[in-house]
Amino acid sequence: MTNKIKTDLLVIGAGSGGLSVAAGAAQMGADVTLLEGGKMGGDCLNYGCVPSKALIASGKAAHAQANASPYGVADVVPQVDYAKAKDHVRDVIAQIEPHDSQDRFEGLGVRVIRDYGQFISDTEVQAGDHVIRARRIIIATGSSPLVPPIPGLKTVPYDTNETLFDLRDKPDHLLVIGGGPVGMEMAQAHRRLDCKVTVIEGMKALGKDDPETAKVVLDALRGEGIDIVENASASEIRGSHGAIEVETKDGRVFKGSHLLMAVGRKPNIDRLNLKAAGIETTRSGIKVDAALKTTNRRVYAIGDVAGGLQFTHVAGYHAGIIIRSALFGLPAKASTAHIPWATYTAPELAQVGLTEAQARDAHGDTLEVVRFPFAQNDRAIAERHTAGLIKVMVVRGRPVGVSIAGAQAGELINLWALVLANGLKMKHVANMVAPYPTIGEINKRAAGAYFSPRLFDNPKVKTIVGLVQRWLP
């Protein structure tokens, strides 16, 4: 028997973006229905941001034990229990799960249906024996690991981020195909947990980031013993559990015990029957306009499935756009110019706005690039985290992009995200007073580096100061 439901807002997908929309809309008085056929919390909670950062923390603890002598503490060989590290990962997920749970959202007044949905018309979605008609529909189904059709891969055991955190036996030698953020984060975590690691990247590792700051990170990872092989496309994969070989197009063969595929993501759209709703797609996901509307004016797409930047915080940002548009009927457009991202290796890598190359293409000779090294920050020196730098791309006093490599880069970038989001200038950062000694002083010192030549190397300034000094009583 079909159960028919009418609702103001239908949200398909209970990942970070979908949950944010559902919670906000329900608390503002809308009738909200939420569909989720998999796990509440989506990729971020169960397979992505949360478990990866938890495993990185385990690796950090092991690394600290083995590298304590510079601080006057004896180095020890860490006794790594890989299964217990995974227990730590599971415990972290369990602590966060209640916030994303079905019980919590039903407590907020959201109608939660645990099933996958597919369109049967431009305003209706079927989920099991439910047919839901909605005034507005938000597709927030996220993305899944992309597994390329490499010859032999189908017959070889491999992991993706969706299975890696269930692995209980420590890999002897982990082969990682893909040198992006996921591949590099998991490479370092496993190296620090006493695994041999080889990363095989078809182009440049961390290739979407600024090359100068990416080099800081790659040098550090190589220094920890990670073999990073670039410009090496996999042509064939063979072997069995514990004995896997990856052959590249140039004939090289890399051998390991386990294989992690980390080459990218694909949008989760196969189940949706989008044609029935008149919704067009692109190679990267669902086609949307600046307001995140699809080619069906009643339907929005947000987060990874919308084909743009694939970050949890972007999905949350998109949720705010939807609340403004779908609930209040107000104009709202999404932008990427102020969206930051970070890679949580050690040292960290962070970016907001344009890289140096992008800024030069966009602004030409009007661009100024300001640099300040971590090695000149007293807190970084005290904690022996001096590798790295900040680069600020400035046009007529206004930052248009910031690249950071170094300790706490993911925290430092927050200030610059605020600056870019609000159109602030370098003078506003220079006016800030930062507590001493903090890593955060690096941001202010970067602003200082922008103004220093204007003040200290300017003959006019020296002339004015000289005149003033003559006339002062």
End-to-end CA distance of the chain: 95
On the question of pLDDT at 456 being above 80, the answer is no
- Is it true that 3-40+101-145+266-328 and 153-263 share their CATH fold? yes
**Gyration radius from the chain CA atoms:** 25
On the question of pLDDT at 327 being above 80, the answer is yes
* Farthest CA pair distance, the chain: 95
pLDDT band at 176 (very low <50, low <70, confident <90, very high): very high
Q: What is the CATH number of domain 3-40+101-145+266-328?
A: 3.50.50.60
Start-end of H helices in 243-352: 312-322, 328
Average pLDDT value over all residues in the chain: 96
- Please give the C-alpha separations between residue 60 and each of 55, 57, 84, 189, in angstroms, as whole numbers: 9, 5, 15, 8
Start-end of H helices in 98-206: 102-107, 181-192
At 473 the pLDDT is 78
Please tell me the pTM assigned to this model.
Answer: 0.95
Count other C-beta atoms under 10 Å from residue 451's C-beta. 14
On the question of pLDDT at 464 being above 90, the answer is no
At 450 the pLDDT is 94
* Token couple for 250: 């140039």
On the question of pLDDT at 355 being above 80, the answer is yes
Residue stretches of the annotated binding site: 53, 117, 141-143, 178-185, 201, 264, 304
Overall CATH class of domain 340-456 = alpha beta
On the question of pLDDT at 417 being above 80, the answer is yes
H/E element, 145: strand 143-145
For the chain, give every domain's residue range: 3-40+101-145+266-328, 153-263, 340-456
At 258 the pLDDT is 98
Residue stretches of the annotated binding site for NAD(+): 178-185, 201, 264
Question: For residues 357 and 212, what is the distance between their CA atoms, to the nearest angstrom?
Answer: 11
Q: What is the mean pLDDT of residues 345-356?
A: 98
User: For 185-232, how does the pLDDT look when each residue is reduced to its tens digit (9 = 90+)?
Assistant: 999 999 999 999 999 999 999 999 999 999 999 999 999 999 999 999
Torsions phi, psi for 353 (to 5 deg): 70, -150
Q: What is the CATH number of domain 153-263?
A: 3.50.50.60
On the question of pLDDT at 453 being above 90, the answer is no
User: For 90-138, how does the pLDDT look when each residue is reduced to its tens digit (9 = 90+)?
Assistant: 999 999 999 999 999 999 999 999 999 999 999 999 999 999 999 999 9
Question: For residues 322 and 12, what is the distance between their CA atoms, to the nearest angstrom?
Answer: 14
At 458 the pLDDT is 75
The answer to whether the CB of 10 falls within 8 A of the CB of 110 is no
Residue stretches of the annotated binding site for FAD: 53, 117, 141-143, 304
The answer to whether the CB of 66 falls within 8 A of the CB of 15 is no
The answer to whether the CB of 60 falls within 8 A of the CB of 53 is no
- Please give the C-alpha separations between residue 414 and each of 352, 387, 399, in angstroms, as whole numbers: 9, 20, 14
At 415 the pLDDT is 98
On the question of pLDDT at 457 being above 90, the answer is no
